[in-house]
Amino acid sequence: MNKLTPTVSLKTSLKNTWSVFFGGFRKLTPIQEATIPHILKGENVIVCSPTATGKTEAVIAPLIERLISQKTNALILLYIAPTRALLNNLLVRLDLGFKKCGFKAIVRTGDRPYLPKNP
């Protein structure tokens, strides 16, 4: 019997988000293969890996996959980053993927107030 590779197995588990977040890649990074199954099971994880190894997608894709099945309109995901610049970069990188999955990404920082100022 052929055993599925981790990437192929996870591709079937991420049926709604695979093409959006990983479609341009041939395979997952080791940190993605290690992280995604735990998040899909609803487990808490701490992800530590060097820059540009796919940590964000390793967390966001399975979370969005789980949220799609919940069908709620409430605030459903809070992603905290250490710097304003990183948050802005994440918004640019992930916004289209969020929209394709039916979600809206919003960045809130001290210089981006939640409510517009009244004239």
For 3-30, what is each residue's pLDDT tens digit? Answer: 667 778 899 999 999 999 998 888 899 9
77 is a domain residue: yes
Contact 101, 17 (CB under 8 A): yes
Please check whether residue 65 is in contact with residue 16, taking contact to mean a CB–CB distance below 8 angstroms. yes
- Quick check: is 72 in a domain? yes
Identify the burial level of 34 via C-beta atoms within 10 angstroms of its C-beta, where 0-12 means exposed, 13-18 middle and 19 or more buried. middle
Q: Over the chain, what is the mean pLDDT? A: 85
| 105 belongs to a structural domain | no
Count up the domains in the chain and report the number: 1
Q: Provide, rounded to the nearest whole percent, the portion of the chain with pLDDT above 90.
A: 45
Domain that residue 93 falls in: 6-100
